[in-house]
Amino acid sequence: MHSTASDGALSPQELVELASENGVKLLALTDHDTLSGLDEAAATARQCGIRFVPGVELTCRWNTRVIHLLGLGIDPAHEGWKGYIENLEGLRQARAEKIAKRLVAKKLPEDLLARAQALAGSGQIGRPHFARALIEAGIVSTESEAFDRYLGQGKPGDVKAEWPDMHEAIEQVKASGGFALLAHPTKYNLTFSRLRILVKELGNAGADGFEVAYPGVSQEQIRLLMRMADQHDMYVSAGSDFHTPANRWTHLGRFPQVDTPRQLARVLV
Nearest distance from residue 191's CB to ligand AMP, in Å? 19
Q: Binding of ligand AMP at residue 147 (CB under 6 A)?
A: yes
Task: Answer with the entry of Mn ion, ligand AMP, none that 76 interacts with (C-beta below 5 to 8 A by kind).
Answer: none
Task: Answer with the entry of ligand AMP, Mn ion, none that 183 interacts with (C-beta below 5 to 8 A by kind).
Answer: Mn ion
Three-state secondary-structure class, residue 203 = helix
User: For ligand AMP, which residue has the nearest CB?
Assistant: 126
Chain residues that interact with Mn ion, rule: CB under 5 A? 68, 183
In 3D space, the residue among 14, 77, 64 whose CA is nearest the CA of residue 40 turns out to be 14
Q: For ligand AMP, which residue of 71, 123, 126, 215 counts as binding (CB under 6 A)?
A: 126
Interactions with ligand AMP, residue window 67-106 (CB under 6 A): none
Q: For ligand AMP, which residue of 34, 36, 59, 186 counts as binding (CB under 6 A)?
A: 59
Three-state secondary-structure class, residue 226 = helix
β-partners of residue 51 are 26
Q: Binding of ligand AMP at residue 185 (CB under 6 A)?
A: no
> What's the CA gap between 159 and 89, in Å, rounded?
15
Q: Binding of ligand AMP at residue 52 (CB under 6 A)?
A: no
In 3D space, the residue among 89, 118, 115, 102 whose CA is nearest the CA of residue 4 turns out to be 118
Please state, in angstroms and as integers, the Cα–Cα distance from residue 60 to each residue in 78, 126, 167, following that order: 19, 14, 9
Nearest distance from residue 183's CB to ligand AMP, in Å? 9
What DSSP element (H or E) covers 91? helix 80-105
**Residues interacting with ligand AMP, by CB under 6 A?**
32, 59, 126-128, 143-144, 147, 152, 243
